[in-house]
Amino acid sequence: MNISMLNSPMTRLKHAMQSGSLKQDIVAGITVSLVAIPQSLAYAQLAGVPAYYGLYAALIPSIIGALFGSSRQLSTGPVAMTSLLTAASVAPLASRGTELFYAYVIMLALLSGLFQVLFGVFRMGALLNFLSHPVLMGFINAAAIIIGLSQLPTLLGISSRQSEHFLLDIWQVLTNLDVMHGTSVVFGLTAILMLVAFKKYAPKLPSVLITVAALTWVSALVGYAGMGGKVVGGVPSGLPTLGIPAADWKGVIALLPAAVIIALISFMEAMSSAKIISIKTKQPWNENKELIGQGLAKVAAAFSHSMPVSGSFSRSALNLASDARSAFSSVVSAVTVLLTLLFFTSALFHLPKPVLAAVIMMAVIGLLNFRTFVNAWRASRDDGIAAIVTFLATLAFAPNIQYGILTGIALSLGLLLYRMMRPRLAVLGMHNDGMLRDARQCNLPPLHPNLGALRFDGALRFVNVSYFEDALLRLEQENPQVSYILVKGSGINYLDASGVEMLANLTRRFRNNNITLGFSGLKQQVREMMDRTELSKSIGAHNIFATDREAFEQLYKRGVIDSRIEWPVRESEIISFEAARRRKDQALAMIDGDISSASIVTG
């Protein structure tokens, strides 16, 4: 890390404190903290760690993410998706509630943060493109359902097993409703009703904080813990202990795949928020700088003995809506969390866990969006399949949901490779509009018995050269009279060495069969590749035409076809011709005027 990286956050913070936006940032920071504190406690429960881990995650990491990232209003801290991934990744390696489980959670924060920092330093933000939007939405919808269902036992006050089959565990809960804890159900349902009512009738109020505070007071008043209800319990007061996470190399190696997945998924969450903020505020946004900021926030979480963090969509939206102007709002939010840790931890003892479960369930409802499946299917059947398979795989693999996203990535890349192997290829005919179009799709007659024309849309590279070659050979076999095959090359945007070799061999083979291979409308980079490899000489420069019209005109002159193929003049060409004629007339009029003026002057 160089000095400029340190100076930039300090300069940003100093500028924020000296600007006229200090008041807005303070108000926004306090507002966000009123949501962040109860959410942090809830998401710690989701991650399988003590509640105070969530408060630690909302302290130092929040400041680091704001100062080192590129988005001023992005709120960093515990989030539902990353918390669920954390619990799912560590569960196979250690039992919940054990010190080993907590140690692995801390190590996961460090590893995922280091991966994000490396991705940002080496400008590998483009890696995120391997995670397509349909796959991500399939995963998010499934994960939202899993998050909600995972809180059902806590909401009902039922002890449930945690096996390798999440859906079976939930089914066991549903078949044992007769043993649910009535008071826990009352607290949980009351919290849900309060949150729904606040959202509908008083959306500007800090609904989560009011709900949590009110029901915590009721819990202490009625002695909920003494009734057998589960509460947060004792929360250590004061600052988190800073230190290097304990290294268990066997555990580190086992956590590496999960760390990469969390690094990617959590940044996709942060990136979606940062993009929206950038659009609304018209502030520049840099994905690689944000990767570094989010990565350093995770590293800070590990050194403060906490859990992986990410950019929160809901809290970032609240920060923006509260008129935050700079990263100082996140500093204010963190200071409020610090005050809670110093002076108000005793007030959290009686906080009912069913209330936190309700907070989590209400938070993830907004993640559900099944409309994306319909849109993905309409856009492309492959995208629709990828979204649906990712959704079902994530549910099936739960609690190991990381395998669901890996399934989606593998499937989407496989479908991409298949499309690259078989790009669109069409035998052409002349349409009434004067364009060469797909003869089969438009039901067009052959251009000429001696001429076959074909269009290839895509890069001609090693994965699809055999597909292209087979299409040309099939065109030859199906048209015994053909003596010339023209490839409309405007859709070919790349040509590699395998493509060059195939075209050279195909040219020689056709020549031996008294068939000539030609190209029209090639892009500049493809023509340059042909020239560099001397493929142009093999094909013959006279068989490479600038346009389709030139190709057909030359073929007529050479006697390949015995009649001209008519090219209807399109309306756009008529307009262009008329515009050119008017410009010519205007130019001649100006020249005549200049001559007349010159005559008057000289006269």
Domain boundaries, the chain: 22-404, 422-557, 573-603
Inter-residue contact 556 to 565 (CB < 8 Å): yes
pLDDT at 583: 55
* Range scoring the smallest mean pLDDT among 228-237, 550-559, 574-583: 574-583
Residue 595: the pLDDT is 40
pLDDT the model gives residue 8: 64
SS3 label, residue 385: helix
* Band (585; pLDDT cuts 50, 70, 90): low
Upstream peptide bond of 236 is cis (omega within 30 degrees of 0): no
**In the prediction, which pLDDT does 11 show?**
65
Give the per-residue pLDDT at 582.
61
Contact in structure between 224 and 187 (CB atoms under 8 Å): yes
**pLDDT (0 to 100) of residue 398:** 87
Q: Give the distance from CA 363 to its chain's centroid.
A: 20
pLDDT in tens, 89-134: 998 899 888 999 999 999 999 999 999 999 999 888 776 767 788 9
Place of tokens 């001559």: 595
Least confident stretch, 20-24, 232-236, 427-431, 441-445: 20-24
Considering 241-250, 492-501, 594-603, the range whose residues carry the highest mean pLDDT is 492-501
Higher pLDDT, 596 or 55: 55
- Exposed, middle or buried by CB within 10 Å (0-12, 13-18, 19+), for 288? middle
> Residue 19: what pLDDT?
58
Span 173-200, mean pLDDT?
93
Neighbours of 4 (CB within 10 A): 8
Say whether 8 sits in a helix, a strand or coil: helix
pLDDT category, 5, cuts 50, 70, 90? very low
What is the number of other CB atoms lying within 10 angstroms of the CB of residue 580? 10
Q: Which CA distances in Å does 129 have to 125, 126, 217, 264, 494?
A: 8, 6, 48, 10, 21
Average pLDDT over residues 171-181: 88
Write the DSSP string, 88-152.
HHHTTTS-TTSHHHHHHHHHHHHHHHHHHHHHHHTT-GGGGGGS-HHHHHHHHHHHHHHHHHHTH
> At residue 18, does pLDDT exceed 90?
no
Per the model's pLDDT, the better-predicted residue between 485 and 568 turns out to be 485
- Phi, psi dihedral angles at 495 (to 5 degrees): -140, 120
| Average pLDDT, integer, range 340-355 | 91
**CA distance to 84, 88, 145, 210, 229, per residue, from 159 (Å):** 19, 18, 20, 28, 11
pLDDT over threshold 80, residue 204 = yes
- Give yes or no for residue 581 having a pLDDT over 80: no
Residues 142-157: what's their mean pLDDT?
91
Q: Provide the phi-psi class of 305: left if phi over 0, else alpha when psi is between -120 and 50, else beta.
A: left
Predicted pLDDT at 192: 95
DSSP 3-state assignment of 426? strand
For every residue of 31-99, DSSP letters joined together read HHHHHHHHHHHHHHHHHTS-HHHHHHHTTHHHHHHHHHSS-SSPEEE--HHHHHHHHHHHTTTS-TTSH
pLDDT at 594: 44
For residue 428, pLDDT beyond 80: yes
Confidence band, pLDDT 50/70/90 cuts, at residue 577: very low
pLDDT of res. 596: 42
pTM tops 0.85:
no
- For residue 279, the one-letter residue type is I
pLDDT at 431: 78
* Range 72-76 average pLDDT: 89
The DSSP element (H or E) to which 273 belongs, if any, is helix 249-281
The angle at the Cα of 178, spanning 174 to 180, to the nearest 5 degrees, equals 80
Q: Pick the range with the lowest mean pLDDT from 62-66, 158-162, 304-308, 570-574.
A: 570-574
Check residue 602 and give its pLDDT: 34
2 has pLDDT over 80:
no
Q: What pLDDT is attached to residue 498?
A: 95
Averaged pLDDT for residues 565-570: 59
By the 8 A CB rule, do 326 and 66 touch?
no
b/e code 555-571 from CB counts within 10 Å (16+ = b): beeeebbeeebeeeeee
* Burial track 429-459 (b if 16+ CB lie within 10 A, e otherwise): bbeeeeebbbbeeeebebbbebbbbbbbebb
CATH 3.40.50.300 corresponds to the domain 422-557: no
For position 601, what pLDDT does the model report? 33
8 A C-beta contact, residue 270 and residue 39: no
